[in-house]
Amino acid sequence: MPTLANPLSYRQSIQFSGNANAPSTDPAISSIDAPTASNVWKVLVEADQTIKAGQTVAILEAMKMEINVDVPPDWSKAKVERVLVQPGEVVKAGDRLALLRSSK
């Protein structure tokens, strides 16, 4: 399966409190979002795992191409708060894949 030459990093700040759609005031929580409509091929992290900038969180598949979704480079260290998808699921552009807690 061909892969993209330059994997993309996506992060969007969200507000979270126990439910992926519930508002909160915790600015330390951000989401890793799907860049495009695709299938979740692999999830490479789990809840409570410490991850670093550039680490791949998930691999998506769209039109026979693999898309690595990475931790943004401005996150020196983060912890996976919650994984929101499983392999085999279909996601739309902007869907949340995982929630991360900044340890900055």
CATH, domain range 8-102: 2.40.50.100
Per-domain boundaries in the chain: 8-102
**97 CB contacts (<8 Å, ≥6 apart)?**
31, 32, 33, 34, 40, 43, 57, 58, 69, 83, 84, 85, 91
The pLDDT-based confidence of 72 (bands split at 50, 70, 90) is confident
Tell me the C-alpha distance between 19 and 35, whole Å: 22
Mean of pLDDT values over 64-87: 91
3-state SS assignment for residue 36 = coil
Mean of pLDDT values over 14-38: 67
Token pair for 102: 């900044």
Tell me the C-alpha distance between 23 and 18, whole Å: 9
pTM score of the predicted model = 0.74
Output the pLDDT for position 51.
93
The pLDDT-based confidence of 8 (bands split at 50, 70, 90) is very low
Output the pLDDT for position 56.
95
